[in-house]
Chain A
């Protein structure tokens, strides 16, 4: 495998050929004759019911489990011919419980693989800070903390940082977001997508949650018993045309609603015509005048970086001193990257329009329930037999 530490962060292709795992004393193999190509720089999800062998398959890639037969190549190199420990130092590994070493600080945890690879102290320290920034943990605050002192979501971020620290071309993730609450899970999934945009690693991701697979995957391998590949295709293709009844059962009903997770806010027509005001630059009285002039009841207060802060009703302004404290705070908001499913949830939380923000968190528009339901109607129409394929 090429020394990826100096190359640009780009993944490599993984090939599994007729890989089988047979445990002694059992009649059926756990994984039977799996052939799969994982394209470089893509996220491939291994999804299937418990016991189908998906985790076993993944763990054969970094040889935590040794295949009974078959070939595995990573970036063109035969993985089975290498020393197992050395191989694993070049493959990122993140698991469900994070598996952080409880007696190492956050910094020491992240520094593990670079340490094993023999990087010098300064390089390691720099890399640790870089990784912590990458996953959204303030180095000054978190460097010296111990895993016990972190929340579940924070621990997972450290786990991901540790997996990425040595800049491996391949990342293996075994249900890494399974043990956190749904809101944190959503945030972590968004973070992973953002990272992948930047880093473009080859990621093999195991989950039993099909919604997660649809949200994250470039390709999804739906696995059945003994890791048999039932369908290996893009999420859109699987949702539109499940290969057999088992896959359809796994996809579940409400495929069109699931497709909401495939569409992003930027793909639809959200509004950008909310009345906005910057809190430092306008007084409540001025805003009130503007609102009455334009016949608006609601306005959005932004800060001087144009980030949405508060919703105000026109009558809140009569006795307000400053725009910074008037009305109510903005609750959940979505980005242009967010899926329509996130937008729907945010609309429900807000009880009205949800704010849409751009890449730096600045206001770009709002999205309402009509836009979402229109999109659903359109998707439904496209799925009707005889309708033109979209």
Chain B
């Protein structure tokens, strides 16, 4: 029997479970975050708690956190995807292990260490001083998935592409990359959730973000502040994951799975 054309699936679990999660996940986030916020604002906060549990502060910190995540996503896509493509070209075969090793360092090294090292090296602080190291830290999933995605394209399909007269560039842009997109998006989803989590340390180099609330609450032993910061950060991570799931669902090329 003829083997089916390569149609790999990046979804785990049944389709129905994913459908349900597409609605349930953001709903759950909204409900839980909402409840926590209502509790935090309604309770009798002391002077220190009231400093942090303010609409203005929470919005500002959430916005900073979101901004870092978006910047990181952009950097990761712009760097990891072309790098992944490059590494799969035949002439770059030898460099591949080196590139992957460097990306591995980025992820294996403790995130805080990478952040501080970058700050000490450049003296910069703020949004970019946080976003660049975090992007380096989050690079690996997208890089690895780009490589795997391109390499798992059925060689017969690539051969047919060249054989029908597509240029090498045409095959890359019209066949290899589109077929690798589902895997790349899955990697991006992982990277973004990593980034949201790591961005909780951005405050260490004046990058702001929800980590500030967590650190304040922990150091001053004010649980409500800590809880609000942590819940908002976790909620943001879940929402980012949900957006990633949407992208996977709707941006992948049709005709697969």
Q: Which residues of A contact B (CB under 8 A)?
A: 62, 64, 85-91, 93, 95-105, 112-113, 116, 146-148, 151-153, 155-156, 159, 162-163, 172, 179-181
Complex Cα gap A103–B253 (Å): 6
Neighbouring B residues of A153 by C-beta, 8 Å: 2
Nearest CB in chain B: distance from A273 CB, A: 42
Q: For the complex of A and B, list the 6 residue pairs with the smallest distance between their C-beta atoms, beginning with the closest.
A: A152-B2, A99-B160, A89-B165, A146-B255, A93-B163, A103-B253
Complex Cα gap A102–B6 (Å): 7
Neighbouring B residues of A96 by C-beta, 8 Å: 156
Q: Which residues of B contact A (CB under 8 A)?
A: 1-7, 154, 156-157, 159-167, 170, 175, 178-179, 253-256
Contact B156 A99 (CB under 8 A): yes
Nearest CB in chain A: distance from B161 CB, A: 7
Complex Cα gap A282–B96 (Å): 77
Contact A155 B2, CB 8 Å, known A85-B166, A104-B255: yes
Contact A116 B164, CB 8 Å, known A95-B159, A100-B157, A179-B2: yes
Contact B164 A103 (CB under 8 A): no
Nearest CB in chain A: distance from B152 CB, A: 12
Mind listing 9 A-B residue pairs with CB under 8 Å? A98-B160, A99-B156, A99-B160, A101-B175, A103-B179, A147-B5, A148-B7, A156-B2, A181-B1
Contact A88 B2 (CB under 8 A): no
Contact A102 B5 (CB under 8 A): yes
Nearest CB in chain B: distance from A268 CB, A: 35
Nearest CB in chain B: distance from A84 CB, A: 9
Complex Cα gap A89–B165 (Å): 4
Picked from B1, B6, B165, the residue with its CB within 8 Å of the CB of A85 is B165
Residue in chain B with minimal CB distance to A93:
B163
Complex Cα gap A64–B167 (Å): 11
Neighbouring A residues of B7 by C-beta, 8 Å: 102, 148
Neighbouring A residues of B5 by C-beta, 8 Å: 100, 102, 147-148, 155
Contact B254 A116 (CB under 8 A): no
Picked from A88, A93, A99, A156, the residue with its CB within 8 Å of the CB of B157 is A99
Neighbouring A residues of B4 by C-beta, 8 Å: 148
Contact A102 B255 (CB under 8 A): yes
Neighbouring B residues of A93 by C-beta, 8 Å: 160, 163-164
Contact A116 B165, CB 8 Å, known A102-B5, A148-B5, A148-B7: yes
Residue in chain A with minimal CB distance to B1:
A152
Complex Cα gap A104–B162 (Å): 16
Complex Cα gap A223–B160 (Å): 25
Nearest CB in chain A: distance from B154 CB, A: 7
Nearest CB in chain B: distance from A169 CB, A: 14
Neighbouring A residues of B1 by C-beta, 8 Å: 152, 181
Neighbouring A residues of B167 by C-beta, 8 Å: 85
Neighbouring B residues of A172 by C-beta, 8 Å: 163
Give me 15 other A-B pairs in contact (C-beta within 8 A), A87-B165, A88-B165 excluded: A85-B167, A85-B170, A95-B163, A98-B160, A99-B163, A100-B5, A102-B5, A102-B6, A113-B165, A116-B166, A116-B170, A147-B255, A148-B256, A162-B164, A163-B164
Nearest CB in chain A: distance from B169 CB, A: 10
Nearest CB in chain A: distance from B104 CB, A: 31
Residue in chain B with minimal CB distance to A172:
B163
Q: Which of B161, B162, B170, B178 has the most CB of A within 10 A?
A: B162
Complex Cα gap A62–B255 (Å): 29
Neighbouring A residues of B170 by C-beta, 8 Å: 85, 116
Contact B255 A88 (CB under 8 A): no
Neighbouring A residues of B179 by C-beta, 8 Å: 102-103
Neighbouring B residues of A89 by C-beta, 8 Å: 164-165
Complex Cα gap A131–B185 (Å): 36
